[in-house]
Structure 1
């Protein structure tokens, strides 16, 4: 009877395990054989995580009063308690504080939105004037460009008239001629402006002579009748 059973177990092993396995069974672990492990904190070989109130709190939580830990020493000191309260106040605010912060954030967002809308409206109101100024500036720039082009063409014509067809714009003679022409143009513009001012002064003086001064009667009108 034993032989068929051994053959059956052997066949089951070949079906269950794809590799050879030993029939080993570990002994159950026995807890509390060595008592409570409480290392000496003054021992230099004691690990850091075996020291301090955190490990004592762990011992007291696991073994209770049998650990020999005084539970009064596990409570934080007044300084530590104030630090804990400050951290909780900063990182764990109350529901009312969180609601107040959210409302303040919403108010700030609404204020910024209104300010942005007001700025957009103000800029849109200025848009026609800005477009007009841009067009005027563009027109003035084109006018200056045309004037500069005409001035260069005039200088080029004078240079060709004076030096011939082959003109070197980098030559000292050409640069000197350009400076002399610019001086002549400035003198002409000053003379024109001076003449305009003199004409304006003469017209103003003539106008003042025709107006009677205060307190003097106006000259009698000439009698043109028969």
Structure 2
């Protein structure tokens, strides 16, 4: 409304005669818009289309929709509670898990250190065999080192076989008694 008056007293363009425009003018200016309010109501056909659209777009009643939303919210809350409970239980086990990880790391480190010490002892034994300090890249050193390793593996295998045989004999003695 410009200076308390309607923008147009009569239609200036084709769209000024449309029902949508007239509804808009009546909504803004009320009875001053010179629009008959009886013509603005929807027709039976429009009401039928609106009802059909709402039945397709919103097939459930408001109560059913509210119940469905409440169930979804309750389900989501239950999932959150279950997750929080699981986290709380995991926090109780956290210290034990930390200890397990550190124990495994220490065990692995001890194995690496033992293997290195064993290898160093073998290398030192090969050096003592030659009687002087020899370069580990020398062919004679490599050959003797491989021979020593083979001997150690053979000795270990024999010890295992002997232990197995003793175990078998012990179990036979037990079964005979």
Report the TM-score, using the length of structure 2 for normalisation. 0.59
TM superposition shift of 1:190: 1.1
Paired residues of 2:136 and 2:142 also in contact (CA < 8 A): no
The equivalent of 1:141 in structure 2 is 108
The equivalent of 1:54 in structure 2 is 20
Aligned pair 1:79/2:59, yes or no?
no
Between Structure 1 and Structure 2, which shows a larger proportion of helix residues? 2
TM superposition shift of 1:37: 1.1
Structure 1 or 2, whichever has the larger Rg, is: 1
Aligned pair 1:65/2:36, yes or no?
yes
- 1:173-192 equivalences under 5 Å are 174-192=141-159
Report the TM-score, using the length of structure 1 for normalisation. 0.49
Change (3 A) 1:147 1:51: farther
Change (3 A) 1:204 1:106: closer
RMSD: 4.7
TM superposition shift of 1:109: 2.6
- 1:22-33 equivalences under 5 Å are none
Count of aligned pairs between the two proteins: 168
Paired residues of 1:155 and 1:178 also in contact (CA < 8 A): yes
Ranked by relative contact order (alpha carbons within 8 Å, sequence separation 6 or more), the top structure is 2
Paired residues of 2:122 and 2:145 also in contact (CA < 8 A): yes
Alpha-carbon separation, structure 1, partners of 2:23 and 2:124 = 103
Paired residues of 1:57 and 1:74 also in contact (CA < 8 A): no
Gaps of 5+ in 2: 28-32
Aligned pair 1:154/2:124, yes or no?
no
What per-residue deviation string (whole Å, max 9, x for no partner) do you get for residues 30-56 of structure 1?
967974115236xxxxxxxx6865324
